[in-house]
Structure 1
Amino acid sequence: MVTTEVTEGEFKGWHTWPEEPFEYDTAGPFYMRTDEKGPVAAFRAQRKHMNAGGVVHGGCLMTFADYALFAIGHQGMEGVYGLTVAFTAEFLDGAREGELIEARGDLLRQGRSITFVRGIVTADGRPVLNFSGTIKVKRPKA
């Protein structure tokens, strides 16, 4: 998938996948870039992300972690489509409104059709979710 660079606001210079309507319009928008530490995904926790307990909804964190799988593992996937075939997560703490939510991780292995990723989501630097997943690459039919 092709990314689009953000041209204004807090995430100026970051990239998005605006053709992903759920992650961009509904749950997000979520952003990604590569810095000196490697790939990173991020968003700012807003009221729409909260649950009744006053923390970011677990489903939102899991959706963001799924997005982060691709932000971390997307190298070498240009021109192909991927889908998540396995995903695990453990909640570590609650994230609050206004906090910067980030995900970093490791590309454990990337084969021709399967990619393995693991990572951690933080809220203002505090760990809130541990995750791992497997991406299946879908190549265009010739």
Structure 2
Amino acid sequence: MSENEAVGSSGGLVPITEGEWAGWSTWQGDAFEQRAGPFYEKQNADGSRVTAFRAEARHMNGAGFMHGGCLMTFADSAIFTIATDALGDSHGVTMNLSGDFLDAAREGQLIEARGEVTRAGGKTIYVRGIATADGTPVLSFTAIIRKVGPKKT
């Protein structure tokens, strides 16, 4: 599927086969993330996961830098990619998300997020990560996810 076909469609995680995002996947069924990003994700050969999107003019604030709310929205999406294995067959909701802005992101830059689960047990998952713009750290974040039940099939 091309990246243009994926955006706005209904459904689950689908692979992108053409364009800049070939080899990545995106969540078709999350209309908010599609409009905010769209955000893409993939699993690397080492098992780590990365989430990314390309910064566009619509993501910028009045000063021409990426809006902080856009970065936090991206981090909120990224924590679920980072916690995929810990979530298993459960859905989750964000209980807490904190971020420290480190630098400005600009239009055209590749925004990526990586991280780790620092603790998981029962219904609670703790995540920390960093978002970068063309490799420069722009946001560090920590989050707590609460599992809320099995995923619908």
TM-score normalised by length of structure 1: 0.92
CA contact (8 A) 2:12 2:28 kept: no
Aligned counterpart for 1:55 among listed residues 56, 59, 65: 65
**RMSD over equivalenced CA pairs, Å:** 1.8
Q: Does 1:97 align with 2:107?
A: yes
Aligned counterpart for 1:119 among listed residues 111, 122, 129: 129
Q: Structure 2 CA distance, aligned partners of 1:66 and 1:75? A: 17
1:78 CA drift (Å):
4.4
1:56 CA drift (Å):
0.8
Q: For 2:110, give the aligned amino acid.
A: L
1:79 CA drift (Å):
3.5
Matches within 5 A, 1:1-142: 2-24=12-34, 26-36=35-45, 38-140=48-150
1:10 CA drift (Å):
0.8
Q: Structure 2 CA distance, aligned partners of 1:23 and 1:103? A: 15
Q: For 1:30, give the aligned amino acid.
A: F
Moved over 3 A (4+): none
Which one has more relative contact order, counting CA pairs under 8 Å at least 6 apart?
A: 1
Gaps of 5+ in 2: 1-10
TM-score normalised by length of structure 2: 0.85
Identity of aligned residues (%): 49
Count of equivalent residues: 140
Gaps of 5+ in 1: none
1:34 CA drift (Å):
1.2
1:93 CA drift (Å):
0.5
